[in-house]
Amino acid sequence: MDDRKVLLNRVRICDFVLQEIALFLDNNPQNKEALECYQKYLDMQREAREMYVKRYGPLTHTDFAGGNRWNWIDGPWPWELDEEA
């Protein structure tokens, strides 16, 4: 698996885990272990996302870094890389 797919999978895994922990925290907002776990995965997601965007371009339109060109439309789109899915 190339580096691009590894980073994209890391972002996806972190996004999934964050969503699941957020659902748990909705019902258990004082759970310190879950809060720590959420923070850990949030940090990992931010790092992986920043690395991906820096190397390969935006994952979503909110990753637009400014400039004189809208680079969100440049391909390939992240989901076009996913041959195994």
Q: What is the pLDDT of residues 9-53, one digit of tens each?
A: 999 999 999 999 999 999 999 999 999 999 999 999 999 999 999
In whole angstroms, what is the distance from residue 78 CA to residue 50 CA? 14
Provide the whole-model pTM.
0.78
Say if CB 18 and CB 45 are below 8 A apart: yes
Give 84 or 1, the one with higher predicted confidence: 1
Give 64 or 25, the one with higher predicted confidence: 25
Predicted pLDDT at 66: 76
